[in-house]
């Protein structure tokens, strides 16, 4: 076995590439298989993997204090410690701890809302693209109606009527993305319906359900995964906006938008209060959009080659 302690130190020269530096700093990143990815796309993928791990395992981080309990003094400046890395908020809670726990909240909302939208949109889109007719017109009307509505305002109205709750936010956000997934699925089914393998399956007596699930569905996955990260980035922004306006995750549960909102009155004296949540939102949205662009480019290359 190689002794890591005796390995020569990596000294990047003037012509060193960012990808080489990333792979040396995080050797496990080479296991992320992203063919043709740029260093920034690799960094985006690594960030999202770390974010998911943080969301799942934040309760087991050694020494991390509770995000609901005071840790230090009022708006304490950042210090070189786990809990004081980003300072404390207006009542002395660790901002770093609240950012990490806020990741769990955001990832949970995004994951469940995306699942609702993907499953519902995929079902509607596949049926509309396969059977066409009045069902297709109904799905198109539903998708266009959702696209015409300002999602943030409508979600805000729903939450204002029913009261801020995680369930309400998840369901409403999930409903608003159904139309996009339905349009993508419908277009994919229409383009695949006259392919040779579908015609062969139909000639052999395969049922409509088998054709949709076994023949067409696997070919829809690339297009759906290409649009999914961008839609997830939009969910992050919408959830953060709701929390900022006071209609998001109820306090004292940590959320990135809520942390920004609670610090607005103190920004002139303590601007460091919003650094953590703002960076979390910006980096997460950037990572999702970057991965979405990468997947879309891969899909375009695949279609040109086919």
pLDDT of residue 30: 52
Rounded mean pLDDT, 146-162 = 82
Tell me the CA distances in angstroms from 57 to 52, 54, 304, one per residue in order: 9, 5, 41
45 domain residue, yes or no: no
List the structure tokens of 40: 């920034």
Q: Is residue 24 part of a domain?
A: no
Sign of CA dihedral 21, 26, 30, 33: negative
- pLDDT, tens digit (0-9, with 9 covering 90-100), for 61-79: 888 888 888 887 777 778 8
Beta carbons of 139 and 130 less than 8 angstroms apart: no
In a domain, 86, yes or no: no
> What are the pLDDT digits (tens) for 11-53?
555 555 545 544 555 454 455 567 777 888 889 999 999 999 9
Q: What was the pLDDT predicted at 6?
A: 47
Does residue 7 surpass a pLDDT of 60?
no
- 3-class secondary-structure state, position 182: helix
Q: What is the pLDDT of residue 19?
A: 53
Q: Is residue 16 part of a domain?
A: no
Q: What pLDDT does residue 31 have?
A: 56
- Asked whether residue 97 is domain-assigned, the answer is no
**pLDDT of 4:** 41
Contacts of 11 (CB under 8 A, 6+ apart): none
Q: Which domain range does residue 193 map to?
A: 111-305
Residue 13 or residue 267, greater confidence:
267
Residue 70's φ and ψ, nearest 5 degrees, are -60, 145
Coil, strand or helix at 94? strand
Residue 94 forms beta bridges with which residues? Answer: 88
Our count of domains for the chain comes to 1
Could you tell me the CATH number of the domain that includes residue 169? 1.10.3720.10
State residue 32's pLDDT score.
Answer: 57
- Residue 71 inside a domain? The answer is no
Residue 91, φ and ψ in degrees, nearest 5: -120, 20
pLDDT band at 283 (very low <50, low <70, confident <90, very high): very high
Is it the case that residue 238 has pLDDT exceeding 50? yes
**Mean of the pLDDT values across residues 209-230?**
89
Residue 91 lies in a domain: no
Tell me: the pLDDT tens digits for 94-112? 889 999 999 998 899 999 9
Cα–Cα dist 176/171, whole Å: 9
Q: Name the pLDDT band for 250 (thresholds 50, 70, 90).
A: confident
Task: Give 36: exposed, middle or buried? Use CB within 10 Å, 0-12, 13-18, 19+.
Answer: exposed
Domain presence at residue 34? no
DSSP assignment, residue 163? -
Q: CA of 222: how far to CAs of 18, 43, 90, 103, 160, in Å? A: 28, 21, 46, 27, 37
């Amino acid at each position: 076995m190689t002794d890591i302690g005796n390995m020569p130190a990596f000294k990047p020269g003037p012509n060193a590439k960012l990808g080489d530096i990333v792979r040396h700093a995080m050797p496990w990143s080479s296991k992320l298989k992203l063919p043709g990815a740029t260093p920034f796309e690799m960094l985006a993928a690594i960030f999202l993997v770390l974010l998911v791990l943080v969301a799942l395992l934040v309760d087991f981080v050694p020494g991390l204090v509770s995000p609901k309990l005071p840790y230090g003094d009022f708006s304490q400046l950042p210090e070189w410690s786990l809990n004081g890395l980003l300072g404390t908020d207006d009542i002395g809670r660790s901002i770093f701890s609240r950012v990490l726990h806020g990741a769990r909240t955001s990832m949970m909302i995004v994951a469940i809302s995306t699942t609702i939208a993907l499953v519902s949109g995929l079902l509607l889109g596949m049926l509309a693209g396969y059977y066409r007719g009045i069902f297709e017109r109904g799905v198109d009307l539903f998708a266009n109606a959702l696209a015409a509505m300002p999602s943030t305002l409508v979600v805000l109205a729903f939450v204002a009527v029913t009261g801020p709750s995680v369930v309400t936010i998840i369901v409403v956000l999930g409903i608003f993305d159904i139309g996009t997934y339905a349009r993508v699925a419908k277009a994919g089914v229409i383009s695949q319906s006259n392919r040779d393998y579908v015609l062969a399956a139909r000639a052999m007596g395969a049922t409509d359900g088998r054709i949709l699930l076994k023949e067409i569905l696997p070919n829809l996955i690339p297009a759906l995964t290409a649009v999914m990260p961008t839609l997830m980035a939009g969910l992050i922004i919408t959830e953060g906006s709701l929390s900022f306006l006071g209609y998001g995750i109820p306090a004292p549960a940590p959320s990135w938008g809520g942390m920004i909102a609670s610090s607005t009155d103190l920004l002139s004296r303590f601007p460091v209060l919003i650094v953590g949540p703002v960076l979390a939102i910006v980096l997460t949205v950037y990572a999702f959009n970057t991965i979405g662009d990468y997947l879309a480019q891969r899909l375009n290359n695949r279609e040109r080659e086919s």
